[in-house]
Each structure stands twice: as C-alpha cells, then as structure tokens.
C-alpha cells in the first residue's frame, strides 16, 4: 500500500506535468505565427507555486538540494513576475510569437515546457515504480540542449533587453532605494552571476545522469 507521502508526490508531480503539458500545447501553434500564446504565458507564470519543491527537499521528502530547488524557483519567478510581466516591451513577445520584439520569451517558455513535461512525468512514474527506461533516458538527456537554450537565448537575453527600460523607468526604485542601489544594478549583477548559478544546477543533473549510468551498468553486469 502506498504511503501518504508517495500519494502526495504522485499527485503533485502529475498536476505539474499536466500543467506544463497544457502550456506546451498552447505554445505549439506559435510555431506558425502570428498566433497568440497569451494563455500559455499566463499558465507558465501561475506555476510559480513550485516553491513547494524547496520545502520537499528541506524536509527530506525528496533527495535533492534545497538550495538548488530554491535557485531554480527563484530564478523563474523573478523572470516571469519581475521582468516579463512588468515590462510590456519585453513581455509582448509572450503574446505575439515572433511578430513583435524578440522571440526570447517564447524560447524560454518552450524550453521550460518541454523539459518540465519530461521531468515531472518521470518523477510521477518513478513514484509508482513503473517508469519506462526510455523516459528515464529522455529525462537525463533532453536537458543537455534544453537547459542552455532556455537560459542563454531565453532568460538571459530577455533580461538583457529589459535593462534600458528598467533604467529609464527606475523600476522598483522604492524597494531597492532602501538598500542604496537600483533594480538596474541588481539586474546587471543577476546577469553576471546567472551563468555560474545555472552551471551549478546543470552539473548537478549531469552528476545524477552519470550515477544513473553507473547503476544501470552494474545491473546489466549482474
């Protein structure tokens, strides 16, 4: 009989997989512009409650680093809520594919959606111990191109494009003024450290991939 924690993780991961699958379906028509993807943009923004994953890791419900879970959640939440939703000149890409501005937001959401559908589906089926080998392979292979695509031409390029608008409008000046700095300076600092923080997460998944490969090889030899 499944434990309550297993049932909870199964439900959580299944809901997340479904949510990202819906977002992906709404993004696909965007490959034939000009199609609106405003609805998928809203779905991606509303999934920021993935903060629960940090809590899961902190209380030992899952075997992962709470810091890495928090960094991923924090980075995505900041990107969607602080940048894309607050700067129309950047966020409009999320409403009209490739027609206006840069496709960087679309690239970000597409990379996120594909990788998360795979990741959460893998987690859900692993909880049930019925995950097929091909999905495990996809989980630890698809991230290799998807993560860099989502970060480089996606998130970082979008934030870079936002810098002039942030500086001109003195965005969030009330909050950052308390710390004797501007949001523009903060965003520049974020862009400077982003590759290093992202590399930590990237290498972490690579280590898990390598460990999985060794485990699989040992089973085959046995």
Find the Cα–Cα–Cα–Cα dihedral 55, 56, 61, 64, rounded to 10°.
-110
Query: Which residues are catalytically annotated?
Result: 147, 155
Cα–Cα distance for residue pair 19/181, rounded to 1 Å: 37
CB contact set of 23 (below 8 Å; sequence gap of 6+): 40, 43, 44, 47, 109, 112, 113
Cα–Cα distance for residue pair 137/75, rounded to 1 Å: 26
3-state secondary structure of 49: helix
Cα diameter, the chain: 64
Cα–Cα distance for residue pair 15/121, rounded to 1 Å: 10
Cβ neighbours around 13 below 10 Å, total: 21
């Amino acid at each position: 009989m499944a434990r309550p924690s297993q049932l909870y993780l199964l439900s959580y991961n299944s809901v997340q997989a479904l949510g990202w699958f819906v977002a992906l379906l709404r993004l696909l028509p965007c490959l034939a512009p000009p199609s609106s993807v405003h609805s998928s943009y809203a779905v991606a923004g509303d999934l920021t409650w993935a903060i629960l994953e940090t809590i899961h890791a902190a209380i030992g419900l899952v075997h992962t680093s709470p810091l890495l879970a928090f960094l991923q959640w924090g980075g995505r939440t900041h990107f969607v809520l602080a940048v894309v939703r607050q700067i129309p000149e950047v966020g409009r890409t999320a409403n009209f594919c490739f027609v206006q501005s840069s496709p960087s937001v679309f690239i970000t959401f597409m990379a996120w959606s594909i990788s998360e559908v795979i990741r959460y589906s893998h987690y859900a089926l692993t909880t049930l111990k019925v995950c097929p080998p091909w999905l495990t392979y996809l989980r630890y292979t698809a991230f290799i191109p998807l993560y860099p695509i989502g970060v480089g031409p996606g998130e970082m390029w979008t934030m870079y494009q936002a810098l002039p608008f942030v500086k001109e409008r003195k965005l969030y000046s009330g909050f950052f003024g308390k710390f004797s700095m501007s949001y523009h300076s903060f965003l520049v600092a974020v862009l400077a450290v982003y590759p290093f923080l992202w590399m930590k997460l990237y290498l972490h998944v690579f280590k898990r991939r390598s460990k999985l490969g060794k485990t699989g090889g040992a089973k085959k030899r046995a």
